[in-house]
Structure 1
Amino acid sequence: MIKVLFVCLGNICRSPLAQAIFNQKIQKNQLSNKFMSDSCGTSDYHIGELPDERTLNCAAKNQVPLQHRARQINRVDLREFHYIVAMDFSNKKNIKHLLEKFGLEHKNLFLIREFQPEPESPEVPDPYYGGEDSFEEVYQILDDSIEHFLEYLKKGEDIYV
């Protein structure tokens, strides 16, 4: 089974929404037996909290089931997840720092927007300080990025593991 980890800063906005969208897409494509996903943050700001209310509202509006409690990335995650997918450069840098700290390497560390054919930006903006429209914008970006990411994964030979 291929394990995918989505990472943002606090694990209450972007990464839990990315995980929920990914899970919905793998279920819709009958790939639940091939993939599993989780999400976490690089910070410890919100450990144990539910996703931001605006994230939950956005997920509900788009009919994406979302159940999650925020957690922080750890050494086990760096070893066990086949793909680590960050939302922005800052969090990708933090992940690289942790890999170095623990003497680990990871060949599949990406920004989620790397999978979009022509993204307007390489990063998913943090909607935390924005309004409902910021969360909807993030949903649209993630929905498209994850669709392309899933196509990328389906082309890989390791999907049949």
Structure 2
Amino acid sequence: MIKVLFVCLGNICRSPLAQAIFDHKINKYQLTNKFSSDSCGTSDYHIGELPDERTMNCAAKYRLPIDHRARQINRVDLREFHYLIAMDFSNKKNINHLLQKFKIAHEKVFLIREFQPEPDVLEVPDPYYGGEDGFEEVYQILDDSIEHFLEYLKKGEDIYV
């Protein structure tokens, strides 16, 4: 089973939404026996909290269930997940720093937008300090990026989507 970890800063906005979208798509494509996913943050700001209310509202709009409590990335995650998918450069840098610190070799650390064909920017904006429209923008970016990520997996892992 391929394990995918979505990572943002606080694990209450982007990464739980990314996990919900990913889980929805693998269910839709009947791939639940091939993948598992989780999400976490690189900070300890919101450990144990539910996702942001605006994240929950956006997910509900698209009928995406979210059953998650914020947590911080740890050494076990770095060893066990096949793909570490960051939302922005800062969190990718934090992941790589932890990999160095714990002397763990990991070849599959990506920004989620790296899977989009010719993205304008590589970061998913953090919607935390904005309104509902920022969460909708993040949803659209993640939905597209995750679709392309699954296409990437299909090519590299013989997964047929």
TM-based fold match above 0.5: yes
Tell me which residue corresponds to 1:49.
49
Structure 1 gap ranges (5+) = none
| TM-fit CA distance, 1:155 | 1.4
Normalising by structure 2, we get a TM-score of 0.97
Stretches of 4+ moved more than 4 A in 1? none
Tell me which residue corresponds to 2:104.
104
Distance 2:60 2:86 in 1: 23
- Sequence identity of aligned pairs in percent? 84
Tell me which residue corresponds to 2:31.
31
Distance 2:84 2:158 in 1: 16
Distance 1:63 1:119 in 2: 26
Tell me which residue corresponds to 1:6.
6
| TM-fit CA distance, 1:154 | 1.3
| TM-fit CA distance, 1:157 | 2.9
> Aligned AA for 1:24?
H
Normalising by structure 1, we get a TM-score of 0.97
Distance 1:35 1:157 in 2: 11
RMSD: 1.1
> Aligned AA for 1:85?
I
Q: How does 1:58-97 map to 2 (within 5 A)?
A: 58-97=58-97
| TM-fit CA distance, 1:126 | 0.2
Tell me which residue corresponds to 1:143.
143
Aligned residues: 160
| TM-fit CA distance, 1:159 | 4.5
Confirm or deny: 8 A CA contact 1:87 1:124 kept in the other structure.
yes
Distance 1:6 1:154 in 2: 18
Distance 1:155 1:25 in 2: 17
Confirm or deny: 8 A CA contact 1:2 1:159 kept in the other structure.
no
Distance 1:140 1:157 in 2: 25
Distance 1:153 1:134 in 2: 28
Distance 1:79 1:159 in 2: 22
Distance 1:18 1:61 in 2: 15
